[in-house]
Chains A and B, each alone.
Chain A
Amino acid sequence: MAADEIDIEALVAELRSEATALRAAADSSPLPPLEPLAPVADPEAIDRLLALSDPREAELSSHRGRLAPAVLAVKRVVQRLLTPVLDRQMLFNQRLAAWLGQVEEEIDQELIRLVRRVTALESSLPPLVASEGISPVDVEDLEAELRGVHPATERRRYLAYFPDAAAGPVAEIGCGRGAFLALLREAGVRGFGFDPDARLIAAARDQGVDARVADPVAALAEEEPGSLGGVVCFRYFERLPLTKLMQALRLAHEKLRPGGVIVAEARNLASLIVHTRSWALDPTLRQPLHPLTLRFLVSEVGFARPEIVYSGEVEPRAVLEGAGAETELARNAARLNALLFAPEVYAIVARK
């Protein structure tokens, strides 16, 4: 063996050791199992095309009766004379089919790659159904403790939008313990609600209201189009990803009867104190909804003239004093109050 010649035997022994070590390392931290996917395109299509590629395989025939043998003989001669042309045609057909096969495969691969990419992106998001919309703590209780008033009791004012019991039932998205459903019942309006949190639904049922454990958006999709008098949602949309929020708004528009009302309440992020209080209290909130944003989204799905209704005034002891006077300091205090201590809650109210 020449000095610089590769010693294959020694090399293979070295590669074997490397393979053993790498195999052990890979087995100790295996990659996720492979998920088989079915091919998208029809794998037989090109084979079928290729099977038709030779024009000489066309059967020669004649309907000339007794002349048929002679006609067929002439046709066979012509076919033979055309051999170079037919060869070329066959070559063209085969190349075309092969090229189509490659294009098909490339498209197939691109499509699968895209599907994979979407799947990977989706799987990188937190689960959407199982725990979506479920808060590990009842933050409204905490908020009640901070503000001295339970948010649910302040929702009585929304009953005014549902004066007519005959206008159809009101569905609540994310009904929690069913406080608003109980208010509706008191007002003689039929209501029902959905919430993914079984613990809260159990509490709601204890109050005797119609509440079900379900993904609220999926449950709304099951309702008859044009069957509802109202759709309400209190501080729940902020827990949904934007795509699902849009789906919920579209469904609300679809399921409401003409004249039906949507009330969508959310934390008012235009009030800076909200960022340090109700927004900061709940770690499950994921979608900040500025009042103007939510109003825009509601109008986007087809509601006419949505309005912003503010509530949840900040307690007077928290705001800057002296804002009522006609001094520069007072005017500045008033500006700061408007920025820092604007109402903590708003609702978008709109009719179909």
Chain B
Amino acid sequence: MRSSPASSGETTAPSAISGPPAERPRARSISLLLPSFAVHDAVGHDTAGIRDALRVPGVTVRIFAASAAPGLEAEPLAAAQSSLERGDLVIYQQSTGWAEGERLLAHASGPIVVRDHGVTPGHFFAASDAALQSEVAAGERQRAALARDPRVTRFLATSPLTARELVSLGAPPERVAVVPPFSRVEELAAAVPDAGALRRLTARPADVLFVGRLAPNKGQHRIQRILSRYGDLFREVPRLRLVGKSDHRHGDYASRLRRERIELRLEGAVETVGEVTEPVLKAAYLCSRVFLCCSLHEGFCVPLVEAAWLGVPVVAAHLETVEHTLGSGGLVLPPDADDDLLAVSLHRVLADAGFRERLVEQQRESVRARFSRAAIARDLAAGLAPLHESA
């Protein structure tokens, strides 16, 4: 695994916490709290990115998690309480319901920063198992409670949409800032693709790629439908590769996708790949011609950045977050775009090499300018700057 920019000596934006001595807040220690510190996980990558951006000489940054994947640097929650009572700055990763986290926050005597990733609305989980539904409902309740909590001094929203949601839930607008999530896109760009996967995937190259867990809000069912319409309109069906883990808690969504593939006669055209390592993911991006996103809800959608960064053109159905993530460079269709229009757009990207190149260039510029580690670290510093003023 590549070392983080902070430890590898790459340029890092000045930390809001370190800052000039006169501007430093009281906290010399920062505690990052999250329920699960996992690999191949957006919140996990963001947590590691925040840690690396804030960890400078004289400032201790510790990650406390209820569970952590082997090899990831995290301490058990039991050790968090004393740090919080001591007055550490707490950065709380808000993405799902977490009763233990809520209990710990009650012990915080220092400033609290909520890092908000948005909560996928409950209606997407109507067919999911009861435990997940109650987790999501708890997440919504907890998010609303934190938005109104006067102890929270800063809210760092991953996108303008999540920022607006926080304000509508009661967060004071002046305390809310948009800071895109840290991701491993630069590591992914530098990663050597897995040789075996490259061999396997180039043997059956995919025209269309989507990366994201198999879940109703990710819209894989619509992608399949568009593929079918593409077949109706152009008398050929492009090959689709769906990369992402299947979570059994999402009820029968994976089965539903499989059933619909059969009904749409797409069995031979769709390949599902579960959770993959970074080198395999790199291979999947390299072996794809277009990234199609039909998500119905996203807090940010890191795979869009990965695709654009790695030169895979993106076609997307309308979604405010997706539009924000892709910026001016993306081919995001208007809200009234039906499956036919998406299929025709897909065809344009697949068939017109010149257009594809221009799109790739435009998207790459857009995401590299805004979502490099250094750029996000600058946004983070700006988002936390008011803490200096209050210190």
Asked whether, in the complex, the Cβ of A36 is within 8 Å of the Cβ of B246, the reply is no
Q: Which of B1-9, B147-155, B338-346 interfaces with chain A?
A: B338-346
What residues on A are CB-neighbors of B338 within 8 Å?
A: 19
Report how far A5 CA is from B359 CA in the complex, Å: 9
In the assembled complex, A6 has its CB within 8 A of some CB on chain B: yes
Least distance between B335 CB and chain A CB atoms (Å) = 11
In the assembled complex, A330 has its CB within 8 A of some CB on chain B: no
Report how far A37 CA is from B358 CA in the complex, Å: 42
In the assembled complex, B170 has its CB within 8 A of some CB on chain A: no
In the assembled complex, B268 has its CB within 8 A of some CB on chain A: yes
In the assembled complex, A31 has its CB within 8 A of some CB on chain B: yes
Please tell me which one of the listed residues A6, A19, A87, A101 contacts residue B344 in the complex, with CB atoms under 8 A apart: A19
Please tell me which one of the listed residues B263, B275, B343 contacts residue A36 in the complex, with CB atoms under 8 A apart: B263
What residues on B are CB-neighbors of A336 within 8 Å?
A: none
Report how far A51 CA is from B274 CA in the complex, Å: 17
In the assembled complex, B289 has its CB within 8 A of some CB on chain A: no
Please tell me which one of the listed residues B69, B234, B264 contacts residue A22 in the complex, with CB atoms under 8 A apart: B234
- Give B269's nearest chain A residue, CB to CB: A109
Please tell me which one of the listed residues A8, A12, A22, A87 contacts residue B233 in the complex, with CB atoms under 8 A apart: A22
In the assembled complex, B248 has its CB within 8 A of some CB on chain A: yes
Least distance between B262 CB and chain A CB atoms (Å) = 5
> Contact mask B240-276 → A, CB, 8 Å, 1/0?
0000011010001011001100111101100011110
In the assembled complex, B232 has its CB within 8 A of some CB on chain A: yes
In the assembled complex, A296 has its CB within 8 A of some CB on chain B: no
In the assembled complex, A140 has its CB within 8 A of some CB on chain B: no
In the assembled complex, A321 has its CB within 8 A of some CB on chain B: no
What residues on B are CB-neighbors of A39 within 8 Å?
A: 255, 258-259, 262
In the assembled complex, A34 has its CB within 8 A of some CB on chain B: yes
What residues on A are CB-neighbors of B259 within 8 Å?
A: 39, 43
Least distance between A52 CB and chain B CB atoms (Å) = 11
Asked whether, in the complex, the Cβ of B341 is within 8 Å of the Cβ of A6, the reply is no
Asked whether, in the complex, the Cβ of A18 is within 8 Å of the Cβ of B344, the reply is yes
- Give B361's nearest chain A residue, CB to CB: A4
Which of chain A's residues 47-69 have a Cβ closer than 8 Å to chain B?
A: 47, 50-51
In the assembled complex, A179 has its CB within 8 A of some CB on chain B: no
Asked whether, in the complex, the Cβ of B265 is within 8 Å of the Cβ of A23, the reply is no
Please tell me which one of the listed residues A25, A34, A91, A101 contacts residue B246 in the complex, with CB atoms under 8 A apart: A101
Which of chain B's residues 306-344 have a Cβ closer than 8 Å to chain A?
A: 328, 331-334, 337-338, 340-341, 343-344
Asked whether, in the complex, the Cβ of A37 is within 8 Å of the Cβ of B262, the reply is yes
Report how far A84 CA is from B268 CA in the complex, Å: 40
Asked whether, in the complex, the Cβ of B343 is within 8 Å of the Cβ of A34, the reply is no
Asked whether, in the complex, the Cβ of B340 is within 8 Å of the Cβ of A44, the reply is no
Report how far A88 CA is from B321 CA in the complex, Å: 35
Asked whether, in the complex, the Cβ of B274 is within 8 Å of the Cβ of A98, the reply is yes
In the assembled complex, B82 has its CB within 8 A of some CB on chain A: no
Report how far A15 CA is from B334 CA in the complex, Å: 12
Asked whether, in the complex, the Cβ of B358 is within 8 Å of the Cβ of A4, the reply is yes
Asked whether, in the complex, the Cβ of B255 is within 8 Å of the Cβ of A44, the reply is yes
In the assembled complex, A307 has its CB within 8 A of some CB on chain B: no
Q: What is the interface residue range for chain A against chain B?
A: 35 or more
Report how far A216 CA is from B237 CA in the complex, Å: 43
In the assembled complex, B362 has its CB within 8 A of some CB on chain A: yes
Least distance between A30 CB and chain B CB atoms (Å) = 8
Q: Is the interface of A mostly helix, strand, loop or mixed?
A: helix
Asked whether, in the complex, the Cβ of A99 is within 8 Å of the Cβ of B233, the reply is no
Which of chain B's residues 334-378 have a Cβ closer than 8 Å to chain A?
A: 334, 337-338, 340-341, 343-345, 348, 355, 358-359, 362
Report how far A50 CA is from B274 CA in the complex, Å: 14
> Contact mask A1-19 → B, CB, 8 Å, 1/0?
0001110100110011011
Please tell me which one of the listed residues A22, A26, A46, A108 contacts residue B248 in the complex, with CB atoms under 8 A apart: A46
Least distance between B68 CB and chain A CB atoms (Å) = 8
Please tell me which one of the listed residues B70, B248, B274, B275 contacts residue A47 in the complex, with CB atoms under 8 A apart: B248
Asked whether, in the complex, the Cβ of B344 is within 8 Å of the Cβ of A109, the reply is no
Asked whether, in the complex, the Cβ of B268 is within 8 Å of the Cβ of A113, the reply is yes
In the assembled complex, A135 has its CB within 8 A of some CB on chain B: no
Report how far A60 CA is from B234 CA in the complex, Å: 60
Least distance between A99 CB and chain B CB atoms (Å) = 7
Known: A39-B259, A105-B272. A12 touches B334 (CB 8 A): yes
Report how far A23 CA is from B341 CA in the complex, Å: 10
Please tell me which one of the listed residues A25, A43, A87, A101 contacts residue B70 in the complex, with CB atoms under 8 A apart: A87
Asked whether, in the complex, the Cβ of A84 is within 8 Å of the Cβ of B70, the reply is yes
Least distance between B56 CB and chain A CB atoms (Å) = 30
In the assembled complex, A323 has its CB within 8 A of some CB on chain B: no
In the assembled complex, A287 has its CB within 8 A of some CB on chain B: no
Report how far A16 CA is from B264 CA in the complex, Å: 24
In the assembled complex, B168 has its CB within 8 A of some CB on chain A: no
Report how far A23 CA is from B233 CA in the complex, Å: 6
What residues on B are CB-neighbors of A131 within 8 Å?
A: none
- Give B273's nearest chain A residue, CB to CB: A102
Which of chain B's residues 373-389 have a Cβ closer than 8 Å to chain A?
A: none
Which of chain A's residues 190-218 have a Cβ closer than 8 Å to chain B?
A: none
Please tell me which one of the listed residues B67, B234, B337 contacts residue A87 in the complex, with CB atoms under 8 A apart: B67
What residues on A are CB-neighbors of B348 within 8 Å?
A: 11, 15, 18
Asked whether, in the complex, the Cβ of B358 is within 8 Å of the Cβ of A6, the reply is yes
Least distance between A301 CB and chain B CB atoms (Å) = 38
What residues on B are CB-neighbors of A23 within 8 Å?
A: 233, 340
Asked whether, in the complex, the Cβ of A98 is within 8 Å of the Cβ of B254, the reply is no
Asked whether, in the complex, the Cβ of B267 is within 8 Å of the Cβ of A22, the reply is no
Please tell me which one of the listed residues B267, B341, B362 contacts residue A19 in the complex, with CB atoms under 8 A apart: B341
Report how far A84 CA is from B331 CA in the complex, Å: 45
In the assembled complex, A245 has its CB within 8 A of some CB on chain B: no
Report how far A105 CA is from B275 CA in the complex, Å: 15
Inter-chain pairs besides A8-B332, A95-B275, 19 sampled, C-beta below 8 Å: A5-B328, A5-B362, A6-B331, A6-B358, A11-B348, A12-B345, A26-B232, A39-B262, A43-B252, A43-B258, A47-B252, A50-B248, A84-B70, A87-B69, A91-B69, A98-B274, A102-B274, A109-B267, A113-B267
6 chain-A/chain-B pairs, Cβ below 8 angstroms: A4-B358, A11-B331, A26-B232, A43-B259, A87-B69, A102-B273
Among all A-B residue pairs, the 4 with the closest Cβ atoms = A43-B255, A50-B248, A47-B248, A22-B233
